[in-house]
Structure 1
Amino acid sequence: MHTTPCSVTDVRGPRYDNPTLLAGPRIGHHRLRGRPGGPGRPGRGRRPTAATASPAVAAAAAAVDYDTWQRDCRAVMDQALPYLKERIGDSGPGEKQAIVLDVDNTALETDFGFSFPQPANEPVLDVAEYAQDHGVAVFFVTARPGIIHAPTEWNLEHAGYEPAGLYVRGFFDLFRNVAEYKTAQRAAIEAKGYTIVANIGNSATDLSGGHAERTFKLPDYGGQLS
């Protein structure tokens, strides 16, 4: 099943990202920039196994073939990257550009990582690295609860991202519609003077509500991935 970038207008019900793979305190800033299998960031064949996925997460991932998922993600990011290159080249004087990423099964391989730290979703990391290298701020907006802010931020940095900001849900946000919560966080980023040139996620709740020039939807296969 292949997906294409799209602007999403429909809003599904609240989606609760799975935090079960995250545990332990912040370990500091260790940004490992190597590609998979080489020095630096752990490759797919050498993932740490300190924590394992819950049976529910493992079952969801088993229903989706990893190679198919990666191929479908790459197809979407192969459209996002040329757009980003062009948009960066067209930036106006003093414009502060930003992109926004979802975390679970967007920035990280949540339902395939089966470990902590979770590996980066490589097609998305490639786009984020290009943005980072060209002065574009990379923000993360997730439905994960605030109690796991520190390990989530450390995981993102360990995977190769350079977060300009990580937005997680506070206590009262847990009772809000996820799409409304995420839209409000993008509005807050814009209020800081940023132009959000791209918003990337794998669910309608990641992308609906505006406050981004373009949206790019990764596959979730009818909700099989969180």
Structure 2
Amino acid sequence: MRSTRIPSHTRIRTLGTATATAAATAVLLLVPAGTSQAAPAAAPGVAPAAATASAPGGNAAILGIDYGAWKRDVAAVMATARPYVEQRIAQTPAGEKTAIVLDIDNSSLETDFHWFWECPTPAISEVRDLTRYADERGVAVFFVTARPGIIGSLTEHNLRSVGYPVSGLYVRDLPDLFNEVSAYKTAKRAEIEARGYKIIANIGNKQSDLVGGHAERTFKLPDYDGKLS
């Protein structure tokens, strides 16, 4: 990067989704605090999931993805990631700069399990706890997201407000929106390495978050055949 602080930005997987997310963010900023909203109607022909404690809402509920099952699947992956990171930190040579790279939507935040007006979006607790553990031991925590830069500052605020340490946030500027997500994310990890960091773990829920190298280990959270963004 050209400066010690990475520009605040955010993630979106397609240009169309980027536009929709930006519009949703604008609505969020215009709704007064405390204003109640009714959940949107389900898409035609799609029966919404029953409102239960195990399914907070959002797109995942419409698609019938069980929140409790997702949490268990996430916990199973993190049960492998956590001891690896702990051991890797313990074995880090003196003077080595280490980092963890994370995707955001459904990898750091419970994005698809909450309606867009619920702000801030809650953290995935096991992932947040791992980043805190690493941060307290000198590991940098970078977020590389396909969200567009227009909602970068809002995304950083969300991450920090739910307890994530943020060493840097990479988002897609306008030219990046027309490139492959996997190529964009690979390039950003390479930039982090160029700053002298060894990326010890890369966490995401899509193959596009993880392919391309520039990380010692990758950990894939569930996306259920692409149903989760």
- The answer on whether the counterparts of 2:60 and 2:228 sit within 8 Å (CA) in structure 1 is yes
Q: Which residue number in structure 1 is paired with residue 58 of structure 2?
A: 58
1:107 corresponds to which residue? Answer: 108
Structure 2: runs of 5 or more not aligned: 1-11, 44-56
Q: Does 1:138 align with 2:136?
A: no
SS at match of 1:160: coil
Q: Which residue of 1 aligns with 2:175?
A: 172
* Aligned twin of 1:157: 160
Contact 2:60/2:113, CA 8 A, preserved across alignment = no
> Distance in 1 between the 2:38 and 2:178 partners?
28
Cα distance per residue 1:136-162 (max 9 Å; x no partner): 110000000000000000000001011
How far did 1:66 drift? 0.3
Higher RCO (C-alpha 8 Å, min separation 6): 1
Q: How far 1:49 sits from its partner (Å)?
A: 7.3
Q: Which runs of 5+ in 1 are unaligned?
A: 1-13, 26-47
Normalising by the residue count of structure 2, what TM-score does the alignment of the two structures yield?
0.77
User: Residues 93, 220 of structure 1: CA spacing in aligned structure 2 closer, same or farther, 3 A cutoff?
Assistant: same
Tell me by how many angstroms 1:59 deviates: 4.0
2:184 is equivalent to residue 186 of structure 1:
no
Amino acid at match of 1:78: A
TM-score by length of 1: 0.78
Please name the residue that 1:208 is paired with: 211
Cα deviation, residue 53, structure 1: 7.7
Structure 2 equivalent of residue 129 of structure 1: 132
Q: Retained in 1: the 8 A contact 2:182–2:212? A: yes
CA distance in 1, matches of 2:75, 2:125: 8
Q: Note the 1:32-51 alignment, pairs <5 A.
A: none
**Alpha-carbon deviations, 1:71-125, whole Å to 9, x = none?**
0000000110100010001111210110001000010000012211100011111
Alpha carbons 1:70, 1:123 under 8 Å: kept: no
Structure 1 segments of 4+ aligned residues over 6 angstroms from their partners: 48-54
Would you say how many aligned residue pairs link Structure 1 and Structure 2? 191
